[in-house]
Structure 1
Amino acid sequence: MAFLLNLAFTIIEVIGGLWTNSIAILSDAVHDLGDSISLGLAWRLDRLSQRGRTPRDTYGYRRYSLLGGLITAAVLIVGISFVLWSALGRLVDPQPVNAPGMMALALIGIAFNGAAVLRVRKGSSLTERVVSWHLLEDTLGWVAVLIGAGAMAIWDLPILDPLLSIGISLFVLWNVLRTLRKFVGIFLQRTPAGFDLEEFEAAARAIPGVSGVAHTHSWSIDGDSHVLTTHLTMPAGLARDQVAGAKQAVRDLLDAHAFEHVTVEVELEGEEQGHRGTKGVEEGGAQSAPEPHAR
């Protein structure tokens, strides 16, 4: 419903922007086009992500949402560049606009975006909450257009239109670049935001029986679901329940909701540690079976 509302209003904005000769409204039309693409992709990818893991996509399809975000960001950057170029030309040569028409479109914009906010804010998923905040920002943007159009209806200030356009465009561009920075961090498999790896390793070393922690790696699948692998060094001859207890203590250090895939490898003291050929050892030196992903 939010996608259809946003797409319908984007078409109205393009027609209305040409009718009122308002570059501010056309700039918001570009913004809403990007929102429509985002909502459509989120809708489609949300359904796709429910398929779960496959032999080729072992973490499922949730990472596809990042691809949708990159496509949306590319569309917005191209559109905003065009709008900014047009708005700068209007600053040099301001043109009269249809202020009453802008006010009418602003009221429609507040109604459409407000209805979309009310529809999406009932959702419980993180995506729905983020989209809800984004649509609320759009609603407030139309309030600003309404105020600016009201001022132009009273005073002859056509320069307000390109100024509003530049302000809206720069605000959207700042949000797009901020989002892109997060995407880049996820694609480069950086440590998830808010997770202190050094603090985690220090806490893991304090677990009884653990004499060392190495090869700790953590990354995010889609910004919400994270992965962690780590190697614990423990004295030889420990009982199985002590080893199992240490593994569980490591998982207890993590947010079970955010870290969906956790692998803890245990090695005996004196054993060579490395990324290859290293197998977990339980009581008596027996090799442990590969441990499944644990929540």
Structure 2
Amino acid sequence: MGHHHHGHSHTHDDLKGRNLLISILLNIAITISQVIGGIISGSLALLSDALHNFSDVLSLIISYIATLLGKRKASSHKTFGYKRAEIMAAFVNAATLVVVAVILMIEAVERLLEPQEIESNLVIWLSLIGIAANGFSVLLLKKNSEENMNMKSAYLHLLTDMMASVAVLIGGLLMKFFQLYWVDALLTMAIGVYLIYMGYDLLKESTKVLMLFTPKSIVVKEIVESICTIEPVKNVHHVHIWQLNEEEIHLEAHIDFKEDIKLSEFDAILEQIEEHVYHKHGINHVNIQPEFDKCDSKNVIVQD
């Protein structure tokens, strides 16, 4: 077995943790103020925004815990450590986005059938506070969200909540100047649709990783064909490629050789394979089983 392993900075992880902690505290403050404001004003959009903010708090806590777990070392009982913690956090957070969206849309339909007068001034001020606080949190997490699925899930929660606050502000202004109270429920419905749209893609991607699907950027046939060009490789079969977490992609395969080569020769070929799959496909962990004249299935993909 051979592998490349590229570590990541602990300072980078500490910064992620700090930014998440700041965002958690900000969202707790927003949630409390919006619940109180929503009850006083009678605004469903404000209460729905508070519910979404509460889901943000939970998702950010999950992301924070996953970040902490991801730092833990592997052991004899946990040979991969907690490297999957952040992927699981992304899955849970994406699922909660969709669940919250459905709840909001049900509430919106009920309010559309029975519109109520709303204290728009309070709605406007609280939505402005929500935009400012969530906007700051979004900026804190934006950079990390581009390279980490867990941070992306937290970022999406905050981004959609900032958008929701913008929608609530627009609704508050329309209610204040035009008495269009049904806008409150309509905007809540729009927020729900947007949450489902944003959450589904992340839910799908995190599910693929948890199910050990081959990353979409990798074509198994191309890898097999390129390895077969190396002498004296005869056949590549029993291929499995999966993503462990954001940093690690694993390749497992059996290679049938044309001749009974020495172990030192195999090591040289293995090094070629490692370099090729890393630079061409981003695969940084390689596990190859060498074979010669062995009677087993030569199918590229083998169902265990």
- TM-score computed with the length of structure 2 as normaliser: 0.80
2:229 aligns with 206
**Do structure 1's residue 265 and structure 2's residue 289 form an aligned pair?**
yes
| Residues 54-103 of structure 1: per-residue CA shift (max 9 Å, x gap) | 22221110212344344445544444333222210111121121222111
1:252 aligns with 275
1:116-131 to 2 correspondences below 5 Å: 116-121=137-142, 126=148, 127-128=150-151, 131=154
Structure 1 letter corresponding to 2:283: F
2:19 aligns with none
Aligned residues of 1:224 and 1:258 also touching (Cα < 8 A): no
1:279 aligns with none
1:42-61 to 2 correspondences below 5 Å: 42-61=63-82
2:142 & 2:193 partners in 1: Cα distance? 26
Q: Which moved more, 1:50-59 or 1:223-232?
A: 223-232
Structure 1 letter corresponding to 2:169: L
Larger helix proportion of the pair? 2
The match for 1:165 among 151, 176, 188 is 188
The match for 2:250 among 194, 202, 227 is 227
Q: 1:178 offset after TM fit, Å?
A: 2.6
Q: 1:113 offset after TM fit, Å?
A: 0.8
1:282 aligns with none
1:175 & 1:121 partners in 2: Cα distance? 15
Q: 1:123 offset after TM fit, Å?
A: 5.2
Aligned residues of 1:27 and 1:80 also touching (Cα < 8 A): no
1:19–1:225 CA distance, 2 compared to 1 (3 A): farther
2:127 & 2:109 partners in 1: Cα distance? 22
Secondary structure of 1:175's partner?
helix
Structure 2 letter corresponding to 1:265: Q
Aligned residues of 1:267 and 1:273 also touching (Cα < 8 A): no
Aligned residues of 2:84 and 2:244 also touching (Cα < 8 A): yes
**RMSD of the TM alignment (CA)?**
2.6
Structure 1 letter corresponding to 2:286: V
Q: Which moved more, 1:131-140 or 1:48-57?
A: 131-140
Aligned residues of 2:93 and 2:154 also touching (Cα < 8 A): no
**Do structure 1's residue 182 and structure 2's residue 209 form an aligned pair?**
no
1:286 aligns with none
**Do structure 1's residue 29 and structure 2's residue 50 form an aligned pair?**
yes
1:143 & 1:74 partners in 2: Cα distance? 23
**Do structure 1's residue 142 and structure 2's residue 143 form an aligned pair?**
no
1:225 & 1:12 partners in 2: Cα distance? 42
Q: 1:237 offset after TM fit, Å?
A: 3.8
Q: 1:240 offset after TM fit, Å?
A: 4.2
Q: Which moved more, 1:161-170 or 1:242-251?
A: 242-251
Q: Which runs of 5+ in 2 are unaligned?
A: 1-21, 299-304
Q: 1:243 offset after TM fit, Å?
A: 1.9
Aligned residues of 1:14 and 1:26 also touching (Cα < 8 A): yes
Q: Which moved more, 1:175-184 or 1:28-37?
A: 175-184
* Bigger RCO of structures 1 and 2 (CA < 8 A, at least 6 apart): 2
**Do structure 1's residue 111 and structure 2's residue 135 form an aligned pair?**
no
1:64–1:178 CA distance, 2 compared to 1 (3 A): same
1:63–1:259 CA distance, 2 compared to 1 (3 A): same
Aligned residues of 1:99 and 1:150 also touching (Cα < 8 A): yes
The structure with the largest alpha-carbon Rg is 1
Q: 1:166 offset after TM fit, Å?
A: 0.6
- TM-score computed with the length of structure 1 as normaliser: 0.82
Q: 1:163 offset after TM fit, Å?
A: 0.6
1:242 & 1:265 partners in 2: Cα distance? 14
2:115 & 2:222 partners in 1: Cα distance? 57
Structure 1 letter corresponding to 2:80: Y
**Do structure 1's residue 4 and structure 2's residue 4 form an aligned pair?**
no
Aligned residues of 2:254 and 2:290 also touching (Cα < 8 A): yes
How many aligned residue pairs are there? 274
